[in-house]
Structure 1
Amino acid sequence: MNRIILFILLTTAAINTSAQQAKITIKILHAKNNILKIQTPVDNTWFYPAVKELSFGADSTIHYSLPIKNFAWLSINNNQILIEPGTTNLVLDNNVLVKSDRNMEGMLLFSKRNTEFYQYRARDYYKRDSTSAGLYQLLENDKNEVLKPYAGLFSRQKISANFYNEIKRYFSAEQVILQAAIPMIVLSTKQKINNDLDKMWAEVYQKHPVDNAQYVFYPDFYYHARYYASTYLHYYLPLKKGIKPSKRNEDESLKSNYKSFEDNFSGRTKEYLLATFLYDEMLQSNHQRILLDLFDNFKSHYPKSNFSPFLQPLANKILAYQKDIKKDYAANEKFVANYPEINSLDSLINRFKGKTVFVDIWATWCGPCKAEFEYSAGLEKFLQAKGVEMLFISMDKDTEDQRWKEMIKYYKLSGNHIRTNNALQKDLIDKLWEGKGYAIPRYLIIKDGKLVVKDALRPSDKEKLYAQIGKYL
């Protein structure tokens, strides 16, 4: 995932006093399936993978309970819901919250908040005003405007004091995180910031220390903390002194980022950030051996961590990967002859005259590409039965040559393989994306050396894809 762009908004948190029981009854109307996804707190933090899938029967109702303190942020089918102790009855229609017997108007109002990724919003604030004084005022004014209707609901006793106070805490945290993001976004685009923004950046961390457990409930806190440690402390401050960052390889960068959380945070905030960092990196499915070492380090410091059970399945995949890459290629995992010398799509597909070919354009860094490999077995069975060739075109750079070859083994990619050189990649971009960069995965169908479908369905489309290929047999 592109970590500055790519983000899904989910929340969980709970603080204060001793645990109490919260009971939730959820009625689901017009559901597309019988699965409800609910994200629950892990040690009072928002943690990406803490999602449970619950199935419901003919009555379309789920009863769920959990221990909480004064309140807890949950995500139920992507609806962010603030739960208090006691019983709460909810109704979802087409996966949208439409009714609650507690804090209903407040929940509906919260569901309409601005959920755009915070770094996009920070960029837009800077477009509105480039001075720190103006930005402070914009952020404060916007927060106050957002809170006004909640204040009205509270004064009319439509929402509880707990709900109102937590909403204020949520938008106060948002204001702090946006303030810190503005100078960072400017630095990333202009490679420098002026003294005004430099002072603003320093002030936000001085007034609102990042090593503060009260922010771990906020959905963008992990990124806020990561950019504080990696960008502000380890890049920007040295750069101000004329110290340029040294080049690191991938393993060194992962170790450095992990250590930045170890050195600059403490207590449960550090444990949460380390666990989230490990999850975020493992989720990329690059299967680096160093992540196992870092996970071992994490477990040695937190042997009873409630985060570890969510990390272990991903660690197991890395272990399997490290084992599989030591094997020889299977007989049906073949490389196109002299592939480094192929400079155009026409030259490549001419090698398959008289055949129907399904083409998968991918890269080792592409998460959605690798997710589609889950359907490879069914696709392979269909292609073999119909006498169709499979061609995988990797868009990886030369530096990823080893990882490309490893992933062919790990994902058991039966078929013909080629990794593009610069000329072939440019030709693909010109022919398939009109010279405007590229987006993958992308699938093609070739018939008798000619491109007949330049944007085919995905393997996950299964029968629909098989029918599409069948037209060219």
Structure 2
Amino acid sequence: MKRSGLFLLILIITAHAANAQKAAATVEVMVQGIDEGLVDILLPVQHSVFWGASRVDTIKGKKPLTIKLTDDQTGFVNIIVVEREIRLFVQKGNNIKITIDEDNEEEPVTINGPNKDGQTLLTSGQLLYPGSLLPRYKRDTIATMLEKHVGDDKAVRMNIFKKLFDEHKIDKPFFDFIKLTLDYYHASIITEVIASKYEASALPKDNPFYKAPFSPDFGALWEATYRQYPVNNPAAICSFGYSDRFNTYAGDYLNSYLSWQKQKYGAAPSVSDPVANIKETVQRIQHNLKPPVAEFVEADLLFSELSLEKNYVILSALFNDFKKRHPKSVYIPYIQPLADRAIAYYERVKQDFTSGQKIIKDYRLINSFRELISHFRGKPVYIEFWATWCFPCKDQFEYEPGLTKFLQKNNIEHLFISVDNDRQEAEWKELIKYYNLEGSHIKANPSLIKDLSKIFWQGKGYALPLYAIIGASGNIIEFDALKPADRKKLYQQLSR
């Protein structure tokens, strides 16, 4: 009996271990005619749609990529592969197979598995970012027009899924998810349109974007929308409609709707300082939202703001406070790497410039490209045009060490021209230190930017990033040179 009992116990433990390893659901992705490609995958975090959880995987050859989901990862899944976005609602026990064939013009994406017709429709449906839809509803000058216009659009989408449900082609959980998503998606459109009207009315009257005073009927619709579709709905954070980035439904509520409510009852308007605004938004989350929505929205805000690589000091402090209040938050692992980068950032930028990081003397007084290049007469120059807000520019900085070594070896000057405005001067200098950009640096003044625009962009503003090669005599050899990431090809171009 003892041996039998022990054997039974071992079987039970083994079964539990096997179940722990078994996926709750799987999604297989196959791409025809590709040797290798990147796949961007967003899986739910405790069923919520937290965009900070997005990760990148690789798909190779004819072998499908199998994505395994745990119980907590079932729900809305977003996959981007070969520039195609796949949207799914994955339930426990589902095994969904996706095939992408670009040669099949009629049906490039095939989805098989539970609710396949609904999954296909969800993927093909044009649920655009609400802010991008503002022009569509621009002519809705009164609230009833806006409400009817958005309601009609919602009914068209909803009726298609209702037909699938009535024909038993999608199950009730899938249909309920779609209804929740479309409810909050279209509510987001209404609140985004109204928020834009309110913000335009709050501008100074001499501002070219100022609009007439905010209409009370839009205010009433705003209030009615948030009553009908509450921000504090835990189910809503699991829908695509609520959670399409922070600054839609919850963002409009915290940053615009509550500001309007304050002014409506005679309170002073919010300050315009970015750091103060972040702190005020966090306070509003804590005072107006309830768990688990408050935790989700605050985590989303911290991730979004830290991703912008700005205001690191206040964001680090706010994240530390978040961890104290939510020590077991499932969102911490996704935010922590960004917070660690913030700490590393400030450790580096508090140092002095190195001998290799040279700010051009009296750079504010240089008004023309000819005057600037005269500082390097007799030497060829490789120029990088950039700005602190230009992410593609900063993506190239990881290739600077190899480029710097090549330029120094070949006696070629390295010039970084920033087109930032004066408000970004401190950040400009910080990023030079953070990325260890060895070379000569200038932040162009308005006159120099105008001259550069004429020379490199035909007087039509400027587009970043841009790279150029200047000869030893000061003439422009390449108006659109290769980028640092091109490495050997760029080095060959510089050696001609």
Give TM-score, length-normalised by structure 1. Answer: 0.87
Structure 2 CA distance for aligned equivalents of residues 439 and 56 of structure 1 = 33
Q: 2:310 aligns with which of 280, 286, 299?
A: 286
- SS of 1:111's equivalent in the other structure is helix
Could you give the per-residue CA deviations for residues 413-446 of structure 1, whole angstroms, max 9, x where no partner exists?
0100011223222322344344443332222222
State the match for 1:48 in structure 2. Answer: 51
SS of match in other structure, 2:51: coil
- Please say which of residues 426-435 and 358-367 is displaced more in the overlay: 426-435
Q: CA deviation at 1:35?
A: 4.4
Task: Give the structure 2 partner of residue 76 of structure 1.
Answer: 79
2:34 counterpart residue number:
31
Q: What does 1:265-284 align with in structure 2 at a 5 Å threshold?
A: 265-284=289-308
2:98 alignment partner, one of 58, 72, 91: 91
Equivalent residues of 1:70, 1:85 under 8 A apart: no
102 and 108 in structure 1: CA distance in 2 versus 1, 3 angstrom threshold:
same
CA contact (8 A) 1:91 1:99 kept: yes
Counterpart in 2 of 1:118? 130
Query: Which of 402, 411, 419 pairs up with 2:443?
Result: 419
The unaligned stretches of length 5 or more in structure 2 are: 1-21, 103-107, 201-209
Equivalent position amino acid for 1:163 in 2: F
- Structure of higher RCO (CA pairs closer than 8 Å, 6+ residues apart): 1
Is contact 1:285-1:367 (8 Å) kept?
Answer: no
Range with greater deviation from structure 2 (320-329 or 297-306): 320-329
Q: Relative to structure 2, which stretch is displaced further, 295-304 or 392-401?
A: 392-401
Equivalent residue of 2:374, what SS?
helix
1:100–1:381 CA distance, 2 compared to 1 (3 A): farther
Q: Equivalents in 2 of 1:420, 1:243: separation in Å?
A: 41
* SS of aligned partner of 2:246: helix
Cα 1:57–1:174 shift into 2, 3 Å: closer
| Distance apart, 1:287 and its partner CA | 5.6
Deviation at 1:73, TM superposition (A): 0.9
Q: 3-state SS of the aligned residue for 1:209?
A: coil
Does the 8 A contact of 1:351 with 1:449 survive in 2? no
Contact 2:34 2:61 in 1 (8 A): no
Q: Secondary structure, in 3 states, of the residue corresponding to 1:116?
A: coil
SS of the equivalent of 2:476 reads strand
Q: C-alpha displacement at 1:342, in angstroms?
A: 0.2
Matched, 1:362 2:386: yes
Q: Which residue of 1 aligns with 2:6?
A: none
**Contact 2:98-2:112 within 8 A present in 1 as well:** yes
Aligned-pair CA distance for 1:317: 1.0
For residues 271 and 225 of structure 1, the distance between their equivalents in structure 2, rounded to whole angstroms, comes to: 12
| Corresponding residue to 2:161 among 145, 150, 157 | 150
Residue 229, structure 1, aligned to residue 254, structure 2:
yes
Cα–Cα, structure 1 residues 165 and 20, in superposed 2: closer, same or farther, change >3 Å? farther
Query: 2 CA distance for matches of 1:115 and 1:435?
Result: 37
Q: Answer with 97-106 or 31-40: which moved more.
A: 31-40
Deviations 1:44-86 (A, max 9, x none): 2111221344445665123333233795111122311111221
Letter in 2 for 1:340: R
SS at match of 1:222: coil
Q: Do structure 1's residue 376 and structure 2's residue 400 form an aligned pair?
A: yes
User: Given the alignment of the two structures, is residue 469 of structure 1 paired with residue 494 of structure 2, yes or no?
Assistant: yes
Does 442-451 or 137-146 show the bigger shift?
442-451
1:236-290, Cα deviation, whole Å (9 max, x unpaired): 3344466653545443232222222222211011111111111111111126211
**Of 298, 321, 329, which residue of structure 1 is paired with 2:322?**
298
Match of 1:103 among 115, 118, 126: 115
**Which residue is 1:4 aligned to?**
none
**Residues 157 and 275 (structure 1 numbering): CA distance in 2 closer, same or farther, change over 3 Å?**
same
CA positional deviation for 1:457: 3.2
Amino acid at match of 1:306: V
Percent sequence identity over matched residues? 30
* Rounded Cα–Cα distance in structure 2 between residues aligned with 1:399 and 1:57: 46
Find the aligned partners of 1:248 and 1:175 in 2 and give their Cα distance: 29
How far apart, in 2, do the equivalents of 1:430 and 1:115 lie? 40
Q: Does 1:187 align with 2:187?
A: no
Counterpart Cα distance in 2 of 1:397 and 1:209? 40
Any idea what the Cα deviations from partners look like across 1:188-246, whole Å, max 9, x if unmatched?
Answer: 44444222222222221222221222221324262221121112212x33444666535
> Cα RMSD over matched residues?
2.6
- Other structure's SS at 1:49 match: helix
Letter in 1 for 2:486: D
Q: Distance in 2 between matches of 1:247 and 1:456?
A: 43
Q: Given the superposition, is the C-alpha separation of residues 37 and 246 from structure 1 closer, same or farther in structure 2, using an over 3 Å criterion?
A: closer
Tell me which moved more, 269-278 or 393-402.
Answer: 393-402
1:351 CA displacement: 2.1
| Bigger radius of gyration | 2
Residue 26 and residue 208 in structure 1: after superposition, are their counterparts in 2 closer, same or farther (change >3 A)? same
> Which stretch of structure 1 is more off in the superposition, 406-415 or 199-208?
199-208
SS across alignment from 1:437: coil
Task: Say whether 1:204 aligns with 2:216.
Answer: no
Cα contact 1:362–1:393 (8 A) shared by 2: yes
**Partners in 2 of 1:425 and 1:312 — Cα distance?**
38
Which of 145, 153, 156 lines up with 1:134 in the alignment? 145
Question: Equivalent residue of 1:90, what SS?
Answer: strand
Does residue 321 of structure 2 align to residue 318 of structure 1?
A: no
Matched AA of 1:100:
N
| CA–CA separation in structure 1 for the residues paired with 2:383 and 2:166 | 62
Provide the C-alpha distance between the structure 2 equivalents of 1:157 and 1:420, rounded to a whole number of angstroms. Answer: 64
Pick from 441, 461, 474 the counterpart of residue 437 of structure 1.
Answer: 461
Is 1:388 the equivalent of 2:391? no
Match for residue 452 of structure 1?
477
Matched letter for residue 149 of structure 1 = I
State the AA in 1 paired with 2:255. Answer: S
Q: Structure 1: how far apart are the matches of 2:452 and 2:262?
A: 41
User: Which residue of the partner structure matches residue 8 of structure 2?
Assistant: none
Contact 1:282 1:314 in 2 (8 A): yes
Unaligned runs of 5+ in 1: 1-18
- Are the counterparts in 2 of residues 70 and 162 from structure 1 also a CA contact under 8 Å? no
Q: In the alignment, is the contact (CA less than 8 A) between 1:20 and 1:69 conserved in 2? A: no
Q: Is the 8 A contact 2:154 2:182 kept in 1?
A: yes
